[in-house]
Amino acid sequence: MIPFNRTTRPSDPRSAAGRRLTWIVYLIGTSLAAGTSFADSFLQDPQGDVYSAHLDLISASITRIDTTHLEFSMTLAADIPEVEQGNTVYYMWLVDTDRDPSTGFPYAHVGGEFNVRAANHGDGWFGVIEQLAKSNEQITLSIDGSEIKLTIARSQIGDPSVFDWEVETYSSSAAGDTTDYYMTEAYDEDLVVTAVVIDPPELELLETWWGRPKVSIDSNFGTYQIPPFTVDWSSSDPNVADADSEGRIIASTAGVATLTANIQGKTGSTVVTVASPVLPPTHDRISPYLAEPVSNALYVNPVVLIAFLPTQDGEQLDITVNPDFYSPNPISLIDLKYRIDIFTQRVKFMREEGTRYRGFADIATPPSLGYRIIDYLVFYEILPPSDDFYLDVNGQHVFMPDFHQILDRIDARTYVEELGVKEFWIWYSGFDSGQPVYDPAIHDPADFRGTWESNMSSPSTGDISNSNRDNSDLPLYKQTYLIYPYGFRRTNNEAIHNYGHQLEAILGYIDFRRNGNNDLFWNEFVGAQDDGSHVTGRCGWTHMPPNTTGHYDYYNTTIVDSDIADWRPDGLGATTPVNVDTWEQHPYQWPPEEGEDPPDFGVGEAHWYIYWMQSMPGRDNEIPSGLEEMTNWWLFSAAWDSAIEAGLGLSSPQCDWTVSIASLSAKVSGGSASVEVTAPLGCPWISSSNDYWISVEHGKTGSGDGTVGLQIQANDGSARIGSVAVAGNLVTVLQPGAIIFTDDFESGNTNAWSQ
């Protein structure tokens, strides 16, 4: 059980000898197709997929040449290649001036981000600074074999009159083997501060929430907003609230405290009022159905379920914070929890059932992916807000959740890195002034919340989700994980709709990453055209079944011939007539639901999502694709990091993979074990554990013959069964327990335990 109210106060990596502003420099490279511009192509392709290729670097650095110039240099593993006319190649340093290298958290905005890049359009190399909201500025560039050097003037990236800079190196183990080179700046000795202003002057927080005040100074150089870590903070009552080394205000217990910022003897303050939620957070019961994945799943994704249920009286949902869309629609916490339980059960069923490859034709088809809820956390409060927001239709601020604070509070790093959690499902309710129920007399705009339909943090690729793909809005751990915000004022259908868009995001990315375009997924599978239009007859997508080109048209009765039941990328699969009856009338075996009046939902829409997912290439599909065959697409949802490391695409060489054993027995004390993989040369594969107590120590990826090394933890509980997916094969692991259940028939005690 992971404790609540955990507060992280990371150590400060900066030298104690002076206050510093930080400029992180990430080293990135990318190649672009002919006829595409840098900004559009690097940020996203027509389907919204971000792509970049990391350079094979020998070394990289930033060097201070003199008081006014810096030199960026990279040495590659091979000489810089010639660039053909009509092609474009960039080598780029992404400089972000408002991130802290120790945490990735944003500082107060002090400069913005810009690209320092070497470019070649086929007619020679040149250097440029591409700065946000500013025109491009030429910089000095030299290329010699495998070495690239760019020299920039300090005046091109900041105000040289106030700050000086130094160059340091920060190595981020969380991001794998990459090293971030960054500049830190110290205040000029001539800087004289005359006043300090903290915004806001008053701050209201709930216990464990973080506040990020803005700090401004008046000085002999003018007025500047500076990062909150650059001042000395003190608290009138540290037990109530205090500032950490990053200048974040951490709320601890109910009460009032004055937080004071000091620089050069000048001070500014903010009064922090901390309140306690009506109810403390709880670990709620997980039903047996949610606690166990579907039987015979090849992969298993552990999930943490989280619910934010604000209440004023401990019995009813606070409808001043979370009303329904058209009317307040009061609901008790008991009924709301029942609603969430039913929705979560349906979401799990739809996701698992959707991974049965062509399960609409054969109910016995084994699933590729199962889900196990390992914890259920309930917070009786609104989602804590971040500084990020968007504007609703009336121009009101709608605040995005502070996922750093939420995940830090529950110690999500332990869930991800030690318990193998791959997804967090968060039930909440969004609200803004555009909803008909909004009444300015009773609803506070400070309570407006909204968020992306999915969000990813990945050390392998960065954020590939149905979002703005901001790599700083989630903490980075050693493994990839996803956030799925679900609306409890809506239904399971909207939750799966969001999941469908996440599938589209990752499959489009994988297609583009390997092929330089995503025609295989979007054009050949979905039926999208290059101009953004769609045709009927292929497999469709989250918005469109194959018998319509209208968005959300799940109940269309028009009959169209489609190859969805026998899809092949070459279009040679058999076609059958389909319409809404094809999926709505399919007899999917939904799990039984407890209670007298379970919440309603649109069955036709729900069945479309399942039917569509079942049409995706899955386990043992053998769909031909030229000289290759389709990969099991569900492995990208189950083992993203390994799939990326192995370089897998939506199609793979036609291979047969076999393993040396189908099951193995482990000792109570645990230990090591191995599984041998036999495969033709050049046939890539991955392995992934489905249980936290079994880890893959080596052989997470391979090609041809190989060995997968397992480490099994000691078992101080009852006997257990786990599994590992190895090269598309399920290997079962049996482990006896230290605790044995016995039946004591003579005494009538059937609950005796012995060790």
pTM (whole model) above 0.85: no
Contacts of 421 (CB under 8 A, 6+ apart): 302, 303, 304, 374, 412, 415, 481
Per residue in 195-209, pLDDT (tens digit) is: 999 999 999 999 999
Which pLDDT does position 167 carry in this prediction?
Answer: 39
- Residues 417, 479 contacting (CB under 8 angstroms): yes
CA angle 352, 576, 521 (to 5 degrees): 55
Verify cis geometry, omega within 30 degrees of 0, for the bond prior to 200.
yes
Give the whole-angstrom CA distance, residue 416 versus residue 554. Answer: 36
Per residue in 253-309, pLDDT (tens digit) is: 999 999 999 998 999 999 999 999 999 999 999 999 999 999 999 999 999 999 999
Which pLDDT does position 411 carry in this prediction?
Answer: 96
Match 């200048």 to its residue by tokens: 247
Report the candidate in 78, 88, 75, 90 with the shortest Cα–Cα distance to residue 28.
Answer: 90
Which pLDDT does position 62 carry in this prediction?
Answer: 62
CB atoms within 10 A of CB 703: 17
Which pLDDT does position 259 carry in this prediction?
Answer: 98
Domains of the chain in start order, with CATH, are 20-187 (no CATH), 193-275 (2.60.40.10), 282-614 (no CATH), 655-755 (2.60.40.10)
**What six digits make up the tokens of 302?**
């552990």
Per residue in 97-107, pLDDT (tens digit) is: 444 333 333 33
Which pLDDT does position 156 carry in this prediction?
Answer: 56
**Residues comprising the chain, all counted:** 755
Which pLDDT does position 140 carry in this prediction?
Answer: 73
Taking 50 as the pLDDT cut, the residues of the chain under it are 1-56, 94-113, 130-137, 158-188, 742-755
- Residues 424, 344 contacting (CB under 8 angstroms): no
Helix axes 603-614, 492-515, angle to 10 degrees: 20
Task: Give SS3 for 381.
Answer: coil
Q: Which contacts qualify for 139-148: CB closer than 8 Å, 24 or more apart?
A: 143/80, 143/118, 145/79, 145/80, 146/58, 146/75, 146/76, 146/77, 146/78, 146/79, 146/80, 147/73, 147/74, 147/75, 147/76, 148/73, 148/74, 148/75, 148/76, 148/80, 148/91, 148/118
Give the whole-angstrom CA distance, residue 53 versus residue 30. Answer: 5
